């Protein structure tokens, strides 16, 4: 088992955009058909009203409205958002538009790992142990000595920490079209089916807790040991099947679930095509999964891919450690609880 990483905070340089790419509001191209797709695939529940922009370049929200992006939904976002995602926004003082499309992919893979392989709900401390935020700024060659301005959209990118052993999730260098996929959502009743903070158009200039390094607790050490163990091809317990970044992306794509959406149970407890957390009862073959993974990452996964290490499911629960004993002081349910009901 590899030793745990230190708690040293690594300074991450700003990411400057190419000339001509300002990551600002550019209006929206979202169509009614895209909204219908989001509803049909249960990414947006029936109790949420959707409104398309009417030619405005930047959002002009009405009372109770929030702004979301189709590109985010394509990468694991869903409404209402999960407690993990809301906690992530609150911890770092972020809005949905502060996170670029690639950041959503990374967060979704983190949830795939935590829920699908560890059998645990993802936490901000777990994600912050392996990743940190870095600023995306607008270059200003004429005023090099002045503080650089944060971009209006996508100002908070997510980067691996130095020496992080978490599977390296490689995403496209830029997903520029994501900026034009925004629209408005609002609760139609008293129930909150968004779980998003009140909208604020400004960039995250306060950078709340962006230098946060979680404490190196016994829980984190235990998780870190499994991250290292499952990627070690020399470990005989792995039987040659090591965990890869492709596994994490394939997990939520093949299971047809949005990791950042509130769900009735974890990925490791999913039970098949009729699981209530799935977008649809229709299965994707491996070639279709590979195409979707290649569309949201820089993976070169072939159509005829196989699992490096397969995530758990209801009839094959996690058994590496009794996590609920370790973390919550309560026993695991009997194995009969994992059987699919008739």
Q: pLDDT per position in the chain (342 positions), as tens?
A: 444 443 344 444 444 443 334 678 999 999 999 999 999 999 999 999 999 999 999 999 999 999 999 999 999 999 999 999 999 999 999 999 999 999 999 999 999 999 999 999 999 999 999 999 999 998 766 666 667 889 999 999 999 999 999 999 999 987 878 999 999 999 999 999 999 999 999 999 999 999 999 999 999 999 999 999 999 999 998 888 999 999 999 999 999 999 999 999 999 999 999 999 999 999 999 999 999 999 999 999 999 999 999 999 998 887 654 444 334 333 334 433 333 333
Spatial contact of 185 and 194, defined as CB atoms under 8 Å apart: yes
How far apart are the C-alpha atoms of 26 and 97, rounded to whole Å? 13
Ramachandran quadrant class, 239 (left: phi over 0; alpha: psi -120 to 50; beta: rest): left
Residue 107, helix vs strand vs coil? helix
* Bridge partners, 51 (sequence order): 184
pTM for this entry? 0.87
């Amino acid at each position: 088992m590899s030793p745990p990483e230190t708690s040293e905070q690594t300074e991450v340089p700003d990411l400057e955009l190419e000339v001509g790419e300002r990551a600002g509001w550019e209006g929206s191209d979202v169509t009614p058909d895209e909204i219908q797709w989001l509803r049909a695939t249960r990414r947006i529940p029936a109790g949420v009203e959707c409104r398309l922009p009417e030619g405005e370049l930047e959002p002009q929200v009405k009372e109770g409205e929030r702004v979301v992006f189709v590109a985010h939904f394509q990468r694991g976002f869903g409404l209402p958002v999960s407690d993990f995602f809301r906690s992530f926004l609150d911890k770092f003082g972020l809005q949905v538009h502060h996170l670029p499309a690639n950041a959503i992919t990374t967060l979704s893979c983190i949830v795939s790992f935590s829920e699908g392989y560890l059998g645990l709900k993802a936490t901000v401390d777990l994600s912050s142990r392996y990743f940190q935020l870095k600023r995306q700024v607008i270059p200003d060659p004429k005023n090099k000595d002045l503080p650089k301005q944060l971009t209006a959209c996508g100002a908070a990118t997510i980067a691996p920490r130095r020496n992080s052993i978490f599977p390296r999730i490689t995403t496209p260098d830029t997903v520029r079209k994501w900026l034009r996929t925004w629209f408005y959502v609002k609760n139609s009743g008293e129930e909150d089916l968004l779980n998003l903070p009140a909208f604020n158009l400004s960039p995250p200039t306060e950078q709340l807790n962006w230098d946060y390094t979680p404490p190196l607790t016994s829980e984190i050490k235990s998780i870190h040991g499994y991250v290292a163990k499952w990627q070690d091809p020399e470990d005989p317990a792995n039987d040659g099947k090591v965990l890869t970044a492709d596994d994490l992306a394939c997990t939520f794509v093949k299971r047809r679930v949005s990791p950042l959406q509130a769900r009735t149970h974890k990925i490791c407890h999913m039970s098949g095509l009729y699981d209530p957390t799935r977008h649809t009862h229709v299965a994707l073959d491996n070639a279709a999964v590979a195409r979707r993974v290649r569309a949201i990452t820089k993976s070169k996964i072939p159509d005829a891919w196989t699992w490096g290490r397969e995530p758990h499911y209801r009839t094959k629960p996690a058994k590496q450690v009794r996590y609920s004993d370790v973390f919550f002081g309560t026993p695991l349910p009997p194995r009969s609880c994992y059987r699919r009901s008739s």
